[in-house]
Amino acid sequence: MKYGIIGTGNMGSMLTHAFISSGAVRANNIAIYNRTPAKAQELKNEFSELAIAPSIKELGNTSDIIFICVKPHHYEAVIEDLTLSSSQCLVSITSPVSVADLEKAVSSQVVRIVPSITNRAHAGVSLFTFGDNITEAFKKELLSTFEFFSKPVEIEEEHIRVASDIVSCGPAFLGFLIENMIDSAHKIGGISEDKATVLMEEMIIGLAALLDKKIYSFPELIKKVTVKGGVTGEGLVALEENIDDAFLAMYQATHYKHYRDKLSIKL
């Protein structure tokens, strides 16, 4: 199978890295194209067997599976340059561009796969939504490819925003909260930010290991750590009193942005 990647920004280059470093796809079966050629060249400097396509059209003509890894409002221009057939598969990696939108716009088979930056470490989830016209062969090919570096999970259209908030935006949301926890540790306890960061990183790696080994669930973890009459309980009460509806507000904000993006994208 020949893979084509249009847009080699954060996600296009992350996917190229993950395909090659996990052994899922050989570099000589991948063609890339980016608006600013130097960015595609940087990837080729790392993986010399990658092909740089001279245009979006040429990449489309020579690939079986084409990933569009540009921002949502650039999809329209990219799709205009592609002439695809029913024996090819087009992949959207962005939540506001649904498989129904793509099916109306192109003649190929379509899939949406929303990745996560965690896939770079061959971990985390990739969210799959298949178009009605997808063949078993492409389904199998894409699922087995993504299994090399992620846990593929099928997701219904109505759940894509919340699912992507957890899987794809989650690293940024939790990163933000963790930075806040480090900053507050420095302010209240006087510990240096560097030392607090090391402690935090090791705690998170340990927490992930507990989850990975299925030793404790979240409720079990909270129960085990919260000693009766101890400090954790006091901290949890303070958090409950101060967190208010922070996460509801966050989900509402992403849903509203998703709604506005969907309205503005015309394929």
Q: In terms of residues, how long is the chain?
A: 267
200 is in an annotated binding site: no
Strand boundaries in 46-156, DSSP class E: 51-52, 65-68, 89-92, 109-114, 125-130, 151-154
111 binds ligand NDP, rule: CB under 6 A: no
Question: Which of 1, 77, 222, 237 is close enough to bind ligand NDP by CB under 6 A?
Answer: 77
Contact 142, 236 (CB under 8 A): no
Q: Can you name the residues that pair with 267 across neighbouring β-strands?
A: none
Contact 11, 26 (CB under 8 A): no
78 binds, among ligand NDP, ligand A1CAB, none (CB under 5 to 8 A by kind): ligand NDP
Whichever of 73 and 224 has its CB closer to ligand NDP, that residue is 73
- 51-88: b (≥16 Cβ within 10 Å) or e: bebeebeebbeebebbbbbbebebbeebbeebebeeeb
Whichever of 109 and 164 has its CB closer to ligand A1CAB, that residue is 164
Question: Which of 169, 200, 221, 250 is close enough to bind ligand A1CAB by CB under 6 A?
Answer: 169
Least distance in angstroms from the C-beta of 92 to ligand A1CAB: 12
Feature table: binding site: 6-11
Residues at the binding site for NADP(+) are 6-11
Contacting residues toward ligand NDP, per CB under 6 A:
6-12, 33-36, 39, 56, 69-72, 74, 77-78, 93-94, 114-115, 117, 168
